[in-house]
Structure 1
Amino acid sequence: MAVIFRVYDSDRNGKVTMYDILEVLRDLSGSFLTDDQRKQVVIQALEEAGFSEDSALTYQDFLEVLNKAGLKMEVEVPVD
């Protein structure tokens, strides 16, 4: 999970903000989700873990958000 945290912590300050998360989700979801949909998902996940959209998450906070929101990190690899 530390590797995933580093992906979200693009400025390498040891904290992840909602905007850091939105940036990565934008890259991952492309046009599948709108910016508003992405923002709602992130806000809901943060709130379920007891954080607000203004929170700057440490690594431990980040893990807590993932665990409490029941989010899973899954990657699909296309096979031709």
Structure 2
Amino acid sequence: MGSRSSSLNNVPNGQELQQQTGFSAAHLLRLYERFQFLDKDNRGHLRPEDFEAVLELSENPIGDRIVEAFFKPGQETVDFPSFVRVLAHFRPTEKNRNRDKGQPDPANSRTQKLKFAFRLYDRDRDGKISRAELLQVLREMLGMQVTEEQLQSIAERAIQEADLDKDGAISFDEFRKSLEKVNIDHKMSIRFLE
């Protein structure tokens, strides 16, 4: 434990991040090494183009959206603590973790994972996934594999099934309800800690 703890002292905000995210000291050290690898110019922050070195993102049809999730609106760089807080969404949910009342859900809770996924669709940040936003994601994910008519049909059906208040869009609550039976832990996991 001594060598890990002392090494964690080299990680910016290491102890605090460990408490906030649930990552172990070893995981944080590995994430810091990856961050430094992506930070080729040793600036202490990453720009969107730095993520191009992550093969899994460059091959993912919505990789650009995932990279954007690391950056708050108007923000052009991300520091290590922010980087880790975003990656915490992709940790498995801890079934037996006790949480203090009044504390926010951890980033790896089912609700926080769903909010993160919802933001990938809700491009205009109005709290709803419109038909146009859903179509845009479907085009990015399915590309030339299906016709435009098929994409339109898929989007229409998804909206009809999820849109409980019939306003023509999907709210977060409707999104969450439509994914009740989906194993979010399985869908939202990254093997970046192995």
Aligned to 1:59: 172
Matches within 5 A, 1:40-51: 40-49=153-162, 51=164
1:10 Cα deviation after fit: 0.4
Q: Does 1:19 align with 2:93?
A: no
Larger proportion of strand: 2
Change in CA separation of 1:20 and 1:32 when aligned onto 2, cut-off 3 Å: same
> Which of 121, 137, 142 pairs up with 1:29?
142
1:31 Cα deviation after fit: 0.3
Change in CA separation of 1:24 and 1:2 when aligned onto 2, cut-off 3 Å: same
What secondary structure, in the 3-state scheme, does the structure 1 residue paired with 2:133 have?
A: helix
Contact 1:9 1:15 (C-alpha < 8 Å) held by counterparts: yes
Change in CA separation of 1:66 and 1:35 when aligned onto 2, cut-off 3 Å: farther
Point out where structure 1 has 5 or more consecutive residues left out of the alignment. Answer: 76-80
What secondary structure, in the 3-state scheme, does the structure 2 residue paired with 1:24 have?
A: helix
Deviations 1:51-76 (A, max 9, x none): 55x612210112234458x8x9958x
Aligned length: 72
Change in CA separation of 1:12 and 1:20 when aligned onto 2, cut-off 3 Å: same
Aligned to 2:118: 5
RCO higher in structure (CA 8 A, sep ≥6): 1
**Runs of 4+ deviating beyond 4 Å:** 72-75
Point out where structure 2 has 5 or more consecutive residues left out of the alignment. Answer: 1-113, 189-194
Percent identity over the alignment is 32
**Structure having the higher Rg:** 2
CA distance in 2, matches of 1:67, 1:46: 16
